[in-house]
Structure 1
Amino acid sequence: MSEAAERLAEVQANIAGAAARARRRAKDICLIAVSKTHDAATIRPLIATGQRHFGENRVQEAAAKWPELRAETPDVVLHLIGQLQSNKADEAVALFDAIHSLDRSSLVQAVAKACQKAGKQLQLFVQVNIGDEEQKGGCAVADLPALLAEAKAAGLTIEGLMAIPPADIEPAPYFALLDELAERNGLPLRSMGMSGDYETAVMLGATHVRVGTALFGTRA
């Protein structure tokens, strides 16, 4: 068994275990392999094991490697999980299948225009600044209903919420809050949990987990 296959099998087993403890079905949880900073040669072994959902932080980096990889494996699903500048909306909509980081009015409007122009509907998440951290992207919890209403008025279908809890603090209360916010706003999807805490996230309602290090190893 290849190293990539072993890592993938371990993460999948951990997700299945956490789902079972929460009386959920493992098949309802989407594992996104975070391939940012990794080149095509590093990504290919994971694709070969059957992994199909991948996450990137930057439009420019994704544009440099994914067109070739997707030509080889057309059923790959690409998620933008990093911050997006409004002026990159057209490029992002053309390249990605899902955007997890809608967080402000100007970006909602830019993505709505780009989707309309491209005739394409993406899977969309609003990122919530769940820990109220000044340095972190995301919509303030108090501003969430207004942003969701604006997105709907602009013709966008928001399917879920995304969050990154504060570092070095127990993440469970933040995951529980995101789950509650999604429930309150009638949204079915929750993008939460990374390599260090994805099992906790699954137990608290995550439908999408974003795992990099546990699949690719520590970045150089």
Structure 2
Amino acid sequence: MTSSSPASASPSTDPAAISDRLAVVRARIAEACRDVGRDPETVVLTAVSKTQPPEAIAAMRAAGQRVFGENRVREAQGRWAEGLYGRPGGAELELRLIGPLQTNKTEDAVALFDVIETLDREKLARTLAEAAAKRGRSPRLLIQVNTGAEPQKAGVLPDAAEALIATAQKTYGLTVEGLMCIPPADEPPEPHFRLLARLAEDNGLSVLSMGMSGDYETAIRCGATHVRVGTALFGERKPSETVSRP
């Protein structure tokens, strides 16, 4: 073997490969910012760590990444609540819930996450407020907007976003700092990003979480402050990891 990486390391867990991919993504973020006259420091990179093995997350942390996004509360608890990657107690680490939140998982989510990006209905706002009061901590929140009005996708419809923002803030006293969206996979993302940016501006919100591995540069040009990147950082998952056996 001529490589300095362990023979058993796959591209998704090899520390050198992960460090290289992180550097590439950061460079592309910086370039996209320069294209529209923005400071690259205004864009936060969220590494989507869902389903990744411990070695990959440890390598990403060693490379300097400090913001991670998880899709499921229970899976995130297994990764982070038990201190597997240095949490709790790691003040430099920020955890963001980027997947749908069920009301029966609200208290666990409030206890674990620094930011919850998927508030999309009044009932969830109420349970978040109750959980925050019980736990004595209140994560920052984003409203998820279903910009494509897709029936299978979570998120408040654009026409109802303003009312939900007001209810969350005024009725329940929640800290709503911005909006999040996931555009339809079969449509150009830019119109959806532009719509989300307009909604945020109209409601005095400063945070826009939008853009993933295939479109984060477009999102930055549309005003994204946070981009959620998985595949471009960790690499494609092997077929054996993504396809169930017959």
Q: With structure 2 as the length reference, what TM-score do the two structures score?
A: 0.87
* Corresponding position of 1:130: 147
Provide the C-alpha distance between the structure 1 equivalents of 2:228 and 2:110, rounded to a whole number of angstroms: 20
Which residue of structure 2 aligns with residue 35 of structure 1? 49
Partners of 2:18 and 2:56 within 8 A in 1: no
Question: 1:101 aligns to what?
Answer: 118
Moved >2 Å (runs of 4+): 70-73
Please tell me the residue identity of whatever aligns with 1:177.
Answer: L
How far 1:157 moved relative to its partner?
1.3
Q: Give CA-to-partner distance per residue, 1:35-57, whole Å, 9 cap, x none.
A: 00112222000000110000000
Aligned length: 220
Q: Provide the residue aligned with 2:30 in structure 1.
A: 16
- Percent of aligned pairs with the same amino acid: 51
In 1, Cα distance between equivalents of 2:68 and 2:41: 17
Indicate which of 192, 195, 199 corresponds to 1:181.
199
Contact 2:180 2:210 in 1 (8 A): yes
Q: Can you list the C-alpha shifts for 1:20-67, whole angstroms capped at 9, x where unaligned?
A: 111111001000000001122220000001100000000010001113
Question: What is the alpha-carbon distance in structure 1 between the residues aligned to residue 118 and residue 194 of structure 2?
Answer: 19
**1-structure distance, mates of 2:172, 2:88:** 35
Q: Report Cα offsets for 1:60-92 as digits up to 9, x if no partner.
A: 100011132133871211000000001100000
Paired with 1:54 and 1:37, the residues of 2 have a C-alpha distance of 12
Q: What do residues 144-189 of structure 1 show as CA deviations (whole Å, max 9, x unaligned)?
A: 1111111012010100000000002210111011001000010000
Query: Please, which of 133, 144, 158 is the counterpart of residue 141 of structure 1?
Result: 158
Task: Give the structure 1 partner of residue 228 of structure 2.
Answer: 210
Q: Which residue of 1 aligns with 2:134?
A: 117
- Aligned-residue CA RMSD (Å): 1.2
Q: Following the alignment from structure 1 to structure 2, what is the Cα–Cα distance between the partners of residues 96 and 39? A: 20
The match for 2:76 is: 62
Gaps of 5+ in 1: none
Q: Which has the higher helix share?
A: 1
